[in-house]
Chain A
Amino acid sequence: MNAERAAISLTVNNVRHDATVEPRELLVYFLRDRLGLTGTHVGCDTSQCGACTIHLNGRAVKSCTILAVQANGAEITTIEGLARGDELHPVQEGFRQKHGLQCGYCTPGMIMSSVYLLKTNPNPSAEEIKHALDGNLCRCTGYVNIVESVKWAAERMRGGQKAEGGDVSR
């Protein structure tokens, strides 16, 4: 099978999609332009800024540096797949509560990386959060509140009562 176009089948936010793609089509453009999931952003387009971060088979990856054909058979979660109806994911709620965004461009990627962090480390230190977000750049430089947002979310996800709109960050 060495074709100009390739058939792929993948699951995005629990919905199965079958499509035919050009081999050079990048996964981020497939998600945005073909599936209309424009929450995943294209920032630097050189795998540095992390605005295009998604989860592929459970791992945070940069979708600007993956071909759509490489995602054949994969399970993908994008920022649109986090909320349950009107109920935001705790990390999304954390960014809202702690003012973790200014222009918002980097936010979907920041949130996807933060959700990934909290899967394996439910109680990260500020230092650990910074390392985990090493691959996500915020040009507004709102890093302080981003770290606070992730801490807030971690506390909420651990079931901490103090997280209820209050200041649990320190």
Chain B
Amino acid sequence: MFPASFGYVAARSVDEALELLAKHGEDAKLLAGGHSLIPAMKLRLASPQTLIDIGTVQGLRGVRVDSDALTIGALTVHADIAHSDLVRQRVPALAAAAGVIGDVQVRNRGTIGGSCAHADPAADFPVVLTALNASFVAVSSSGKRTIAVDDFFVDFYTTALGQNEILTEIRVPLPPSDAGTAYHKLANPASGYVVVSSGALVRRDGSGKCIDARVAIGGLGGKPFRPAATEAALRGKSLTPEAIADAAAKAADGSDPDDEIYASADYKRHVATVLTRRALAQASGFKIETSHPQNQR
């Protein structure tokens, strides 16, 4: 399979990429790792006139700590996030999510910025980044703005990014020392994409009470779903297995997932409660048993 013909231009800097975007307008697409865009182009689901390759831009790769946040360059590949000691130690849920995307080869090539800008509803990063309350740095010719995750993902394949903007960084607030994070996923066994996944960030005080909980669930709609009832049920409660189970039982309340050939809406809602229970329990410091090997990596 070949994509339809297109023009190609490699940008050497963000500024050059912005100029090219302005020049080529709506007919142009940014190319990072290409692991969402190239398959779509081969299937002729996307046929941009021009590809502006930003994979050639220096300085958008890597993970660093920037005051109180983990700052991840948009071109950082999934494998480098999954294997980063910094990420594994400080934000284990993010490393866990990065490590269950696709397969080894895909993780060696796909980028966090590309995945987020593509906003596939069955992708892992949007879910875990929602749980972690990340923000997105977008650059345009008129300057730089930061977009909160709850505003960034809008719907199926739709983000708040403008046509004239380039996503350059993802910022993940470093969870405080009293917090735990976890990400659990039921993958489609054929594609590896999310059927349902759940990410959690739980803060607790010295007595084991929940100060705050943030949960995001993938697979229930066009963008990550925040289960307000689950989050509210935990705040101020002692983080016992029973309290976690009670809160997780509400995880799909208010969601309206579609039936798929591989999973009915009811099934997805049920799995959402199970994975949310596991994610909350792990983020609260409990050991989790799961038979799903992808979650053990």
Contact = CB atoms under 8 A, between A and B. Distances in A.
A86 B3 CA distance: 39
B207 interface: no
A61 B53 contact: no
Interface string B96-116: 000000111110110000000
Interface in A115-169: 116-117, 127, 131-132, 134-136
15 contacts: A2-B7, A2-B50, A23-B7, A24-B4, A24-B5, A24-B41, A25-B2, A59-B108, A61-B105, A61-B108, A62-B109, A66-B38, A70-B53, A132-B104, A135-B104
A119 B2 CA distance: 33
A112 B7 CA distance: 32
Nearest to B79: A59
Contacts of B53: 69-70
Contacts of B105: 47, 50, 53, 60-62, 113, 135
Given A46-B1, A117-B104, A132-B104, 16 more contacts: A6-B8, A22-B5, A24-B5, A25-B2, A47-B105, A48-B190, A50-B103, A59-B79, A60-B105, A61-B105, A62-B105, A65-B34, A67-B38, A69-B10, A113-B104, A134-B192
Interface string A50-63: 10010010011110
A131 B10 contact: no
B291 interface: no
B293 interface: yes
B2 A134 contact: no
A4 interface: yes
A61 B1 CA distance: 18
A50 to B, nearest CB: 6
Interface of A: 1-4, 6, 22-26, 45-48, 50, 53, 56, 59-62, 65-67, 69-70, 72, 113, 116-117, 127, 131-132, 134-136
A152 B254 CA distance: 53
Interface of B: 1-10, 24, 31, 34-35, 38-39, 41-42, 50-51, 53, 55, 79, 102-106, 108-109, 190-192, 293, 297
A159 to B, nearest CB: 26
B102 A65 contact: no
B295 to A, nearest CB: 12
Contacts of B3: 24
B7 A60 contact: no
Contacts of A56: 109
Contact of A2 (B8, B55, B293): B8
A4 B50 CA distance: 10
A134 B103 CA distance: 6
A131 B34 contact: no
Contacts, number: 91
Contacts of B190: 48
Contacts of A65: 34-35, 38-39, 109
Give me the 3 closest cross-chain CB pairs, A-B, nearest first. Answer: A135-B103, A23-B8, A59-B108
B8 A69 contact: yes
B55 A70 contact: yes
Contacts of A116: 104
Nearest to B109: A61
Nearest to A48: B191
A50 B102 CA distance: 12
Nearest to B49: A2
Contacts of B293: 127, 131
Contacts of A61: 105, 108-109
Given A53-B105, A62-B109, A1 B10 contact: yes
A48 to B, nearest CB: 7
B206 to A, nearest CB: 38
A93 to B, nearest CB: 22
A154 to B, nearest CB: 16
A34 B3 CA distance: 18
Nearest to A25: B2
Contact of B102 (A3, A60, A70, A135): A135
